[in-house]
Chains A and B, each alone.
Chain A
Amino acid sequence: MDAKRDFSEPLAYAALAVLLLLVLPQTLDDFRLNLMGKYLAFAFVAVGIVLTWGYGGILSLGQGIFFGAGGYMMAMFLKLEASAPELPDFMVWSSVETLPTWWVPFRSLGATVALILMVPTLFAWGFSYLVFRKRVGGVYFAIVTLALALTMTVLIIGQQGDTGGANGITDFRTMLGWDILSDEAKRTIYFAQVGLLLAAMLTASWIVRSRLGKLLIAIRDREDRVRFSGYDTAMIKAAVFAFAALLSAVGGAMYTLQAGLIAPGVVGVVSSVEMVIYAAVGGRLSVVGAVVGALLVGFLKSWLSESFPEAWLFFLGTLFILVVAVLPNGLAGIAGRFAHVWRPKEVPSATAAGRP
Chain B
Amino acid sequence: MSFDIAVMQFFNGISLFTILLLMAGGLAIVFGLMGVINMAHGELMALGAYMTYLTARAFELWAPSWMGVYIFFGIAVAFATTFVLGYLLERGFIRFFYKRPLDTLLATWGLSLILQQAYRSIFGPQEVSVPLASWLSGAWNVTDGIQLPLNRLFIVGLTFIVAVGVWMVLYRSAWGIRVRAVMQNRAMSGAVGIDTNRVDALTFALGSGLAGIAGSVFTMIGSTNPGTGQLYIIDSFIVVVFGGVASLLGTAFSSFAIAQSQTTLEYLMSGSMAKVTILVMVIVALYFRPSGLFTSRVRT
Contact = CB atoms under 8 A, between A and B. Distances in A.
Given A140-B290, A155-B276, A320 B107 contact: yes
A147 B258 CA distance: 14
A157 B272 contact: yes
A269 B117 CA distance: 17
Interface string A165-192: 0000000000000000000000000000
A261 B105 CA distance: 31
Indicate the size class of the contact surface on chain A.
Answer: 35 or more
Interface in A310-342: 310, 312-314, 316-321, 323-325, 328
B101 A324 contact: no
A296 interface: no
Contacts of A310: 117, 120-121
B113 A158 contact: no
Contacts of A80: none
A333 to B, nearest CB: 14
Interface residues of B, number: 39
B283 interface: yes
A8 to B, nearest CB: 25
Given A139-B37, A147-B279, A159 B107 contact: no
B276 A130 contact: no
B257 to A, nearest CB: 16
Given A140-B241, A313-B114, A320 B276 contact: no
A304 to B, nearest CB: 12
Contacts of A43: none
A130 B290 CA distance: 11
Contacts of A57: 102
Contact of B272 (A134, A158, A313): A158
> Which secondary structure characterizes the binding site on chain A?
helix
Given A310-B121, A313-B116, A325 B101 contact: no
B112 interface: yes
B234 A269 contact: yes
A144 interface: yes
Contacts of B103: 324, 328
Interface stretch (A34-42, A252-260, A273-281): A273-281
A154 B272 contact: yes
A253 B5 CA distance: 47
A11 to B, nearest CB: 29
Contact of B234 (A131, A136, A146, A319): A146
Contacts of A136: 286, 290
A32 interface: no
A134 B114 contact: no
A147 B105 contact: no
Interface string A129-171: 0110011101110111011101100110111000000000000
B110 A321 contact: yes
A59 interface: yes
A277 B105 CA distance: 12
B189 to A, nearest CB: 23
Given A138-B101, A277-B106, A280-B106, 8 more contacts: A59-B102, A140-B241, A147-B237, A154-B279, A159-B272, A276-B106, A313-B117, A314-B117
Interface of B: 37, 96-97, 100-103, 105-107, 109-118, 120-121, 234, 237-238, 241, 270-273, 275-276, 279-280, 282-283, 286-287, 290
Interface of A: 53, 57, 59, 61, 130-131, 134-136, 138-140, 142-144, 146-148, 150-151, 154-155, 157-159, 269, 273, 276-277, 280, 310, 312-314, 316-321, 323-325, 328
15 contacts: A59-B102, A136-B290, A144-B286, A147-B238, A154-B276, A158-B276, A276-B106, A316-B110, A317-B110, A317-B111, A319-B110, A320-B106, A321-B107, A321-B111, A323-B106
